[in-house]
Structure 1
């Protein structure tokens, strides 16, 4: 969910009617740059809910792949607030299928279920309340009528997901009582909340297009992360900050209000400069993409890297000291293999970033691929089932200590066993769902849908319409990639990059 301007002259309707366009207030809020801060605040409040926090920490890729998660969330929100009623219905159905797969128990052995109506109502509540708070902290409080209309539209969005809007209070005064009660009694200092506040921004990986500038990114992150964290904490309701034991940083309230005021001024810049779709697409581009923006930034990266190399020549750094010799020596080939397997494990297999390979990691792969291809039933279920079968195969082959997960050490010792029959089935199902027209090969348009770029390889077959990707070539390349034997493939930006 995102927001935009408060100009109420665009549309005075109180909410969407059946079959009409998007919720008027939500649509006008969608592109306000202040919503970036409000979204962080809402996400923290969501993560503090025990059920939502458990679902996030066990299933989400927001730690290991935050930029990909941002793009997917933005695209989902676009569909939910867009004018296409059919697109809204399809997206609501997709989200419901995704939520139905997210259930389990937390570290306190309490069950969680992403389809729980009360938990989903809390998600909508945090988005609405953070929208209103966004304007209040910016020195631009909303009129009561506007707030009531906005509340009606958020309730309508809950109804669009198939939930009874009655899970939120009927009137606005009752909502504020409900919100205060939730903050005072239901929210907890969850692990997911702590990760968002204290780990996510401090360890935020560079977006794909800036991955070649690690020093520059590390310096920018070290400067910005503490500021963003302090602003997020300061914006939370004071009773919850006190109950959760969150630190009171001197000057944080002033910093937070100044941030909201300053970012609010950004909305007066030319729209093309601050359009969130343009910004997110730019952050998500990979250096090898055929997109003109990617080529421009890649050229800039190359110049910066050459300048950095020149500086290192003129001002050489001290030679690093050799580490103390170990009792046992490892051959260069073995050390290189170890590094490669650890990188592949961390970047590709461990999608949730918890340090082990579990079913949620493979489910996250299926979820990403289903989203890329915009799959409906039954294709989506076929893909999930193929990944579930592969997980059973991996457990049997690699989980040597029987703890229900695969460690990096277990993977390194048994990596060749990954390329079994179940993985072949994953590749075959992925080919089938990508081959939309069922003609037995992946053409350039279908290739771009999956990889978000044009062909960057010589395929082994061509027909009268140009280059195509045959089933055999696709399955072979997917297998070599997922077994960790070939990293220079299109699958890197699909599953490995942040």
Structure 2
């Protein structure tokens, strides 16, 4: 293993800065720019369109860590709901690195509660724990290093002082999470040695890494905004998926590619440099044309949202459907039914199982699936303690009820066949309790009903119910009834579909 910063591919030789520092004062002597908010290096780079590729690369390096890879496989929704996961990750980073100290403290507390729930053992009986300081440090390390690499691959390597400032900001991020700064090396030279060690000796070709590189890109579900255009999405994915995969593999550190047996793609390096350079040109568009928050929100925009952009997209989508219908009239190909126009009043038990209950996409229903629902609901409603814990406990009780009733072979999880055989008629006390707790935490003002703003916070759609004479409110009894009907598979619901089904 190399042991000098100058040999690292992302530290450009003389760019490595020698410093004599007190390890107890990380990055002392670095430029004193703001660590968070406007003016910080993070704020500058997070608005850069190239950062999308950098985040994908960082996610792959995280997934190659044995503990993180195991946690992703067991608990994450990144396979079944990648767009939702992307949006939530981006919003979390924005809160953590923004200028609002209170928002940062609340988000750090939320992330710590979330990570404290992610622990267990992998398929080889090796333990994993999302609160492990070394694991958390590696997540931050991949974000920092991928940002530096993003600039190098674009032909614009960062100045030494800029790298120092950026590293200090990510150290501050980790400190804001409550972790000691020492969990990341105190100086850049030590960081590159740490990074090289991780890449060359600790990372592995994990199942999570293989899924991201060889399954996710090729089978990426359409974002909600394109749900009514499956043909358009499939055609675009067939072209873009392999390209993104090739760019990501080629951008990974060569020692890890060699150890993990990842293919050497002919022309991969040239393609990667070209992609980063081309995407980087979007930085020169007028201010406001490329806003990460707007793009992230657009990708997860529900088709029946009251956001004005949804109406514009719906109009474009209708025009494309009419064009498609005209094309079918003048071609001999048989017309294919449009899934968006299906009028079936309910799903089959099997379809409901995969579309709603199997949040992690592993083909089974178990606690991580219901925990993912609780996590998404808590995030949407921006819950603090104790409301968040109440919601998790309600889902945990429902899991116990489901397991007792449906786990016929005693393997600790529920298969599609076990579910289909019994659950369509199952809506017991625990599920009712989930509905009641969800109503209580959604009813932010505690007035016993859900108004339009509270409804929108939960579902991200307009208030679509027939509220004549009700003052545009949603009563407890109506909410519980609708929730039970949806979660027992008896009734479709556009609102709950947008909440728990969309990718």
Per the normalisation by structure 1, the TM-score is 0.91
Contact 1:209 1:284 in 2 (8 A): yes
Partner of 1:188: 204
Residue deviations 1:414-444 (CA, integer Å, cap 9, x gap):
1234311000000000000011111111111
Residue deviations 1:459-479 (CA, integer Å, cap 9, x gap):
4761xxx21100000000000
Pairwise mapping of residues 47-126 of structure 1 onto structure 2 (< 5 A)?
47-126=63-142
1:363 pairs with 371, 375, 386, which one? 371
Higher relative contact order, chain-length normalized (CA < 8 Å, sep 6+):
2
Partner of 2:502: 497
Residue deviations 1:257-287 (CA, integer Å, cap 9, x gap):
1001111111101232211111111111111
Pairwise mapping of residues 216-235 of structure 1 onto structure 2 (< 5 A)?
216-235=232-251
| CA RMSD, 1 decimal | 1.7
1:433 paired to 2:449 = no
Pairwise mapping of residues 89-168 of structure 1 onto structure 2 (< 5 A)?
89-168=105-184
Partner of 1:5: none
Contact 1:40 1:232 in 2 (8 A): yes
CA shift for structure 1 position 360: 0.3
CA shift for structure 1 position 167: 0.9
Cα separation, partners in 2 of 1:376 and 1:338, compared to 1, 3 Å: closer
Residue deviations 1:196-255 (CA, integer Å, cap 9, x gap):
111111110111111111111101000011000000000000000000000011001100
Q: For structure 2, list consecutive stretches of 5 or more residues without a partner in the other structure.
A: 1-29, 337-343
Residue deviations 1:71-102 (CA, integer Å, cap 9, x gap):
11111111111111000000000000000000
Cα separation, partners in 2 of 1:145 and 1:185, compared to 1, 3 Å: same
1:467 paired to 2:472 = yes
Partner of 1:478: 483
Q: Bigger shift: 416-425 or 223-232?
A: 416-425
Q: Bigger shift: 227-236 or 165-174?
A: 165-174
1:212 pairs with 228, 234, 249, which one? 228
Contact 1:481 1:489 in 2 (8 A): no
Pairwise mapping of residues 97-496 of structure 1 onto structure 2 (< 5 A)?
97-317=113-333, 340-459=348-467, 462=470, 466-496=471-501
Cα separation, partners in 2 of 1:338 and 1:467, compared to 1, 3 Å: closer
CA shift for structure 1 position 340: 1.9
Contact 2:65 2:204 in 1 (8 A): yes
Contact 1:459 1:473 in 2 (8 A): no
Cα separation, partners in 2 of 1:337 and 1:415, compared to 1, 3 Å: farther
Q: Bigger shift: 305-314 or 52-61?
A: 305-314
1:274 is paired with a residue whose SS is coil
Contact 1:397 1:417 in 2 (8 A): no
2:80 is paired with a residue whose SS is coil
CA shift for structure 1 position 394: 0.4
Q: For structure 1, list consecutive stretches of 5 or more residues without a partner in the other structure.
A: 1-11, 321-335
Partners of 2:492 and 2:168 in 1: how far apart?
49
Partners of 1:318 and 1:304 in 2: how far apart?
18
Partners of 2:347 and 2:308 in 1: how far apart?
34
CA shift for structure 1 position 16: 4.2
Partners of 1:286 and 1:343 in 2: how far apart?
20
Partners of 2:31 and 2:108 in 1: how far apart?
23
CA shift for structure 1 position 337: 10
Residue deviations 1:30-58 (CA, integer Å, cap 9, x gap):
20001011111110000000001111111
Per the normalisation by structure 2, the TM-score is 0.90
Cα separation, partners in 2 of 1:76 and 1:225, compared to 1, 3 Å: same
Cα separation, partners in 2 of 1:22 and 1:391, compared to 1, 3 Å: farther
Partners of 1:284 and 1:319 in 2: how far apart?
29
Contact 1:338 1:412 in 2 (8 A): no
Q: Bigger shift: 280-289 or 171-180?
A: 280-289
Partners of 2:91 and 2:474 in 1: how far apart?
27
Q: Bigger shift: 373-382 or 64-73?
A: 64-73
Q: Bigger shift: 339-348 or 305-314?
A: 339-348
